Amino acid sequence: MRVPGASRLWISPERRRALPRALGYLRPYRARGALALLCVLAQSLLGAVPFLAVRAITNHLTHPHGSFTPVLEITVAAFAAMVLSGLLGVAETYLTVSLSESVVADLRGQLFDHLVGQSVAYFTRSRAGDVMSRIVNDVAGVDDVIGSTSLSLLNSALTVGVSLGLMVWLNWQLTLLTLLIAPFVALGLRLGGRSIYRARERVQGELAELTVYLRETLELSGVMLLKSFGREQRERARFAELNRSLRDSEIEAGMATRWITMALRLAQIIGPTLLLLAGGYLVTHHKLSLGSLLAFSMVAIRFAGAIQESATGLLEVIGSLAPWQRIFDTLDEPYEVSERTGARTLAQPRGAVGIEQVSFRYPGQRRAALSGVSAAVEPGQLAALVGPSGAGKTTLSHLIPRFYDPQSGSVTLDGVDVRELTFASLAAAVGLVLQETFLLHASLRENLAYGRADADDAQLLAAAAQANLQEVIAALPDGLDTVIGERGYRLSGGEKQRVAIARVILKDPRVLIFDEATSHLDSVSERLIQDTLAELSRGRTSIVIAHRLSTILSADQIFVLERGEIVQRGTHEQLLSQGGLYTQLYESQFAAAPS
Ligand code: ATP
């Protein structure tokens, strides 16, 4: 018979399945775990030595005419046993710490490997702090439980087994009586397990929330936004709310098992009381010897203590299933864009780009960003993408390096579907210069060499010169060694884009995707970037999201996009003679724009 609401007493079966999977992470370190357990057992055996020594010495001293030598020998032996026990304690700590930290490092590595392989779409959807929280907070959430808790759980489970065996051997009737506490322990575990799981789930969720918030707010652009809108007080209040909520959840998680533990402690007292009553009855009726009752009571107390320790350990393990589950959810998120097994490498790409009947809809969007788009760009050609805002120009350019895969149609490089190519081969063939240049907080040298790690200074400087960066480098306090990026030396928008151009020059891709800046750069920067683009596009296929007159004038082909479709195509002159959207765009955007 199903008890109504019974499922609410326990965590769901699929959540429970996290346990064997989590245990799988311990498998490579089982030898280390077994050794640590041996150390624990040896220590508990050695713990009996002082008592035995006291007993032996007392017996010896109470014996008349006893010599002093045995006293010395026993004391030295007991001392040696204690030193050995201490050493074993050190070894045990090393083994458990190294075991848990190894598992944690494996987990962090696995999470990073998985996340870094995720598609751009995944990161568009997820909040940066949330992704970070999986690697930092969730892994930290399982850290404590892996080594010490599992070990003490094993140790106490072993004690439970041994004591139970002894109890049965001493008196099975009293053993049955002792086992009356079992249903209470089971119920305690159920209730405690459910509440600790939920509390830990909430804590991990709120930790992620806090990380997301901090990541957004305390980032340079976030702080600038906050300052410019005078939101300090409001943000302090918002943080205080998140902080309070996390504090409450942490307290709840800390208290989740307290009542259960207390109840188990009570059982620990009630058990021996019942035992004394029943045992007393059996002894008075000559059904049990006094010695057996005493021995049984001592073992039963140890049994109840071990049961309580096991239950507490088990509850901690159940609580840790919440962060484990969050980790597994992240690891199980499939790749939307993945490399096919047996993917090809293009040894010497020529740079022919084909877009064939491509339709693409962003996940969760009703309207398609691109529908039935076809275009061909020959090797070495310069193609300009133009169109009103939101027409799909950026989306189209992002399909070439496989930031996303289209739902239908195909994108080809030298006639080969890009989905057939290895990621490395595609990345080597396609270079991007985006509107928003992302620079690492590192030296200019490291930023430039990002595209080619083996480049020497001469090559770096040559690429920088091609990107018209000589004067910028000359003005930097430490030249190529100057740390740039958000928290380093601040470069202007135009200078940043030129660094991005130099980075791509070093990579030397056959296909270049260039998103011209829409923001107004000063005329010198503008001219420098245009000169650089001319230089950069020479000899390679260039697909430019065009905002400058000079670009459309020099383009071999112009594709005019509107609402995800190519509505016009041709050269500047051909398109102007056709009239339509291109003429409108030309008059409103390009004719007025700086050349
Ligand atoms: P702009 O010139 O303003 O940069 P665009 O022509 O490059 O515009 P896209 O950025 O390609 O246009 O956007 C095409 C459509 O897809 C727009 O309607 C936009 O709102 C939508 N879109 C773009 N990125 C996403 C995204 N990550 N998720 C959902 N929709 C998106």
The torsion angles phi and psi of 365, rounded to 5 degrees, stand at -95, 145
Enter the tokens of residue 170. 């001493």
Q: 389 alpha carbon to ligand 1 midpoint, in Å?
A: 8
Place of tokens 């299933």: 321
Q: Is the CB of 395 under 6 A from ligand 1?
A: yes
Q: 364 alpha carbon to ligand 1 midpoint, in Å?
A: 13
Enter the tokens of residue 3. 């008890």
Over residues 137-192, the pLDDT tens digits come to 999 989 878 877 888 888 888 889 888 998 899 888 889 988 887 888 888 888 88
- Cβ neighbours of residue 218 under 8 Å, at least 6 residues apart? none
- Contact assessment for residue 550 and residue 579, using Cβ atoms and an 8 Å cutoff: no
Q: 369 alpha carbon to ligand 1 midpoint, in Å?
A: 7
- Contact assessment for residue 431 and residue 510, using Cβ atoms and an 8 Å cutoff: no
Which atom of ligand 1 sits closest to the CA of residue 389? 3
Distance CA 319, CA 316 (A): 5
Over residues 526-561, the pLDDT tens digits come to 777 777 777 778 889 999 998 888 888 889 999 999
Over residues 447-465, the pLDDT tens digits come to 999 888 888 989 999 998 8
Nearest CA to ligand 1 atom 9: 392
Q: 331 alpha carbon to ligand 1 midpoint, in Å?
A: 29
Tell me the average pLDDT across 235-261: 91
How much is the pLDDT for 299? 84
- Contact assessment for residue 18 and residue 322, using Cβ atoms and an 8 Å cutoff: no
Best residue for ligand 1 mutational test, from 395, 399, 581 (most atoms within 8 Å of Cβ): 395
Task: Label residue 414 left, alpha or beta by phi (over 0 means left) and psi (-120 to 50 means alpha).
Answer: left
Which atom of ligand 1 sits closest to the CA of residue 385? 6
Q: Is the CB of 391 under 6 A from ligand 1?
A: yes
- Contact assessment for residue 139 and residue 104, using Cβ atoms and an 8 Å cutoff: yes
3-state secondary structure 251-316: HHHHHCCHHHHHHHHHHHHHHHHHHHHHHHHHHHCCCCCHHHHHHHHHHHHHHHHHHHHHHHHHHH
Tell me the average pLDDT across 269-293: 85
pLDDT band at 287 (very low <50, low <70, confident <90, very high): confident
Nearest CA to ligand 1 atom 2: 389
Tell me the average pLDDT across 16-37: 90
How much is the pLDDT for 24? 93
Nearest CA to ligand 1 atom 14: 392
- Contact assessment for residue 428 and residue 465, using Cβ atoms and an 8 Å cutoff: no
Q: Is the CB of 362 under 6 A from ligand 1?
A: yes
Specify the range with the lowest mean pLDDT, choosing from 13-17, 327-331, 495-499.
13-17
Q: Is the CB of 205 under 6 A from ligand 1?
A: no
How much is the pLDDT for 477? 86
Cα 512 to the center of its chain, rounded Å? 32
Q: Is the CB of 359 under 6 A from ligand 1?
A: no
| 21: exposed, middle or buried (Cβ count in 10 Å: 0-12, 13-18, 19+) | middle
Distance CA 479, CA 33 (A): 53
- Contact assessment for residue 396 and residue 377, using Cβ atoms and an 8 Å cutoff: no
Distance CA 405, CA 399 (A): 6
How much is the pLDDT for 484? 85
Distance CA 558, CA 398 (A): 18
Q: Is the CB of 124 under 6 A from ligand 1?
A: yes
Tell me the average pLDDT across 309-319: 89
- Contact assessment for residue 380 and residue 351, using Cβ atoms and an 8 Å cutoff: yes
Best residue for ligand 1 mutational test, from 394, 560, 588 (most atoms within 8 Å of Cβ): 394
Q: 392 alpha carbon to ligand 1 midpoint, in Å?
A: 6
Q: Is the CB of 365 under 6 A from ligand 1?
A: yes
Distance CA 464, CA 460 (A): 6
How much is the pLDDT for 148? 77
Which atom of ligand 1 sits closest to the CA of residue 364? 29
Q: 355 alpha carbon to ligand 1 midpoint, in Å?
A: 18
pLDDT band at 3 (very low <50, low <70, confident <90, very high): very low
How much is the pLDDT for 496? 86
- Cβ neighbours of residue 484 under 8 Å, at least 6 residues apart? 439, 441, 442, 443, 444, 447, 490, 491, 499
- Contact assessment for residue 146 and residue 26, using Cβ atoms and an 8 Å cutoff: yes
Tell me the average pLDDT across 518-529: 66
Q: 391 alpha carbon to ligand 1 midpoint, in Å?
A: 7
Tell me the average pLDDT across 218-225: 86
Q: Does the pLDDT of residue 32 top 90, yes or no?
A: yes
Distance CA 196, CA 317 (A): 10
Q: 563 alpha carbon to ligand 1 midpoint, in Å?
A: 10
Nearest CA to ligand 1 atom 18: 390
Q: Percent of the chain having pLDDT more than 90?
A: 45
Specify the range with the lowest mean pLDDT, choosing from 197-201, 335-339, 519-523, 524-528.
519-523
Tell me the average pLDDT across 351-357: 96
Q: Does the pLDDT of residue 111 top 90, yes or no?
A: yes
Q: 111 alpha carbon to ligand 1 midpoint, in Å?
A: 30
How much is the pLDDT for 430? 96
> Average pLDDT over the chain, rounded to whole?
87
Q: Does the pLDDT of residue 1 top 60, yes or no?
A: no
Nearest CA to ligand 1 atom 28: 362
How much is the pLDDT for 190? 84
Q: Residue 545 belongs to what H/E stretch?
A: strand 541-545
pLDDT band at 520 (very low <50, low <70, confident <90, very high): low
Q: Is 516 helix (H, G, I), strand (E, B) or coil?
A: coil
Q: Does the pLDDT of residue 13 top 80, yes or no?
A: no
Q: Does the pLDDT of residue 519 top 70, yes or no?
A: no
Rg over alpha carbons for the chain, rounded to the nearest Å, is 36
Q: Is the CB of 284 under 6 A from ligand 1?
A: no
Q: Is the CB of 547 under 6 A from ligand 1?
A: no
How much is the pLDDT for 267? 75
Q: 122 alpha carbon to ligand 1 midpoint, in Å?
A: 16
Q: 497 alpha carbon to ligand 1 midpoint, in Å?
A: 21
The structure's pTM equals 0.83
Over residues 366-420, the pLDDT tens digits come to 899 999 999 999 999 999 999 999 999 999 999 999 999 999 999 999 999 999 9
- Contact assessment for residue 132 and residue 152, using Cβ atoms and an 8 Å cutoff: no
Q: Is the CB of 390 under 6 A from ligand 1?
A: yes
Q: 445 alpha carbon to ligand 1 midpoint, in Å?
A: 33
Cα 566 to the center of its chain, rounded Å? 40
Distance CA 445, CA 455 (A): 10
